[in-house]
Structure 1
Amino acid sequence: MHVLVIDDDVRLSSLLTTYLTSQGLTVDTRPDGARGLGAISTQAIARGPVTPGVGVQDALRYDAVILDVMLPDFDGFEVLKRIRAVSDVPVLMLTAKGEPNDRIRGLEGGADDYLGKPFEPRELLARLRAIARRRGPEGTRDGLIVAGNLIIDRFAREARLDDVIVPLTSYQFAILLALAEHAGRVLDREHLMRLARGDDSEAFDRSIDVHVSRIRALIGDDPREPTLIRTVRGAGYVFIARIARTGDERPRGL
């Protein structure tokens, strides 16, 4: 597990680094919000609105962030807000304050957990591991699905082929994402439409075929010899490529 500690308390950061490293974790430290955000994503400290998904690749370096509420530049809640604009990396907030409102504010702002100072390092480690268990297997949190030279980015809501954006409509992207997320599983047309559009979908059954055909053309997948999406006659479609999620070297799919 690779952890980033954002805290201006040099002594505490040093103690955490020593302890967590002894437990097999890799630890980086930053003494203020600006440098902490810079370590996660350069886009997170840009002035003005932050485009979701931009800079996410940088954020994928960390499995968790330990964030102090009291920092010398931004407060921890502002840092959390900027982190959440570009990443869903797990965040555990630290504070010397015990007010319930601070805990509630942090959790409502997107923190995964909250720990008041002083605390036992073992408890912090236990909470980090609990967050990791809730987040699922390594690599499932980051929003990137890789199938050969095709990259599907949930956060940016885009697909790239050989690092070039594929001009999919939002619905076509949703179809591709649904297929990739269920790699190796045959999805009938009705189920695929529900996954892509939601339970209130009113599209005609066969319209999905047109969209899948267009997706194949855009990602260079020959339906006669498919390497990504296969038609299962009378059943639906299945994503057949071996996929990996960033940070997870284990392939999935057929």
Structure 2
Amino acid sequence: MLPGESGLVLAKRWRAHPRTKSIPIIMLTARGDESDRVAGLDAGADDYISKPFSTKELLARIRAVLRRRAPEQEPTLVIMGQLSLDAATYRVAFDDQPVKLGPTEFKLLHYLMTHAERVHSRSQLLDQVWGDHVFIEERTVDVHVKRLREALGERAAVMLETVRGAGYRITTQTQGVVSVSPAA
């Protein structure tokens, strides 16, 4: 028993809160009945260890939980048409020409490219790019989208669409754009 409340209540609270829902939880307890283990796992624990246990077993279970909880590795190279972004080298290019971006525009483009063809509201972009702990105006997104379009240049900027009343998306399905090649 924890001081003040049970581990079950604490686990449920942590799982319900957006800031703590992804923190791994391992319950260490003297209660080893099947019903107790099931209740602990149902409350949100990633693992449940009954006393007595060895240090080696505890460490092995911690490693196992961390392996299961490790974030998926996002691809370092993302390509959409002629636009490419390499997160490992922090390089962006359009039609093999380098594109210079500020750190926020880079993160914004990276998020949009790894979640292409989907419409993202300003508040979603604020949470995903700036983080949910930052309190800034939603119109800040508009400023950074404008900067991103300017940096991408006229030909690439059409990939970044404003979806009226909904937000922004990046797409290779640009409408109304006609590509004209110079006569040979």
TM-score for both structures, normalised by structure 1: 0.38
Give the C-alpha shift of residue 162 in structure 1.
Answer: 3.0
Which of 83, 92, 101 pairs up with 1:150?
A: 83
Which of 162, 168, 175 pairs up with 1:231?
A: 162
Tell me the percent identity: 31
In structure 2, C-alpha distance between the alignment counterparts of 1:141 and 1:197, rounded to whole Å = 18
Match of 2:104 in 1: 171
Match of 2:16 in 1: none
Give the C-alpha shift of residue 141 in structure 1.
Answer: 5.4
**Equivalence map 1:14-93=2 (5 Å):** none
Extract unaligned runs of 5+ from structure 2. Answer: 1-55, 174-184
Give the C-alpha shift of residue 202 in structure 1.
Answer: 2.0
In structure 2, C-alpha distance between the alignment counterparts of 1:210 and 1:232, rounded to whole Å = 16
Match of 1:215 in 2: 148
CA shift in 2, pair 1:135/1:186, >3 Å: same
| Bigger Rg over Cα | 2
Give the C-alpha shift of residue 240 in structure 1.
Answer: 1.2
Give the C-alpha shift of residue 182 in structure 1.
Answer: 1.1
Per-residue Cα deviation, 1:88-140 (whole angstroms, up to 9, x for no partner): xxxxxxxxxxxx9xxx9xx8xxxx8xxxxxxxxxxxxxxxxxxxxx998xxx8
Match of 1:162 in 2: 95
In structure 1, C-alpha distance between the alignment counterparts of 2:151 and 2:97, rounded to whole Å = 11
In structure 2, C-alpha distance between the alignment counterparts of 1:200 and 1:165, rounded to whole Å = 32
Give the C-alpha shift of residue 234 in structure 1.
Answer: 1.1
In structure 2, C-alpha distance between the alignment counterparts of 1:150 and 1:200, rounded to whole Å = 31
Cα RMSD (Å) of the superposition? 3.4
The AA in structure 1 aligned to 2:103 is: S
The AA in structure 2 aligned to 1:234 is: G
Number of residue pairs the alignment of both structures matches: 113
Q: Is the 8 A contact 1:175 1:193 kept in 2?
A: no
Extract unaligned runs of 5+ from structure 1. Answer: 1-99, 113-133, 243-254
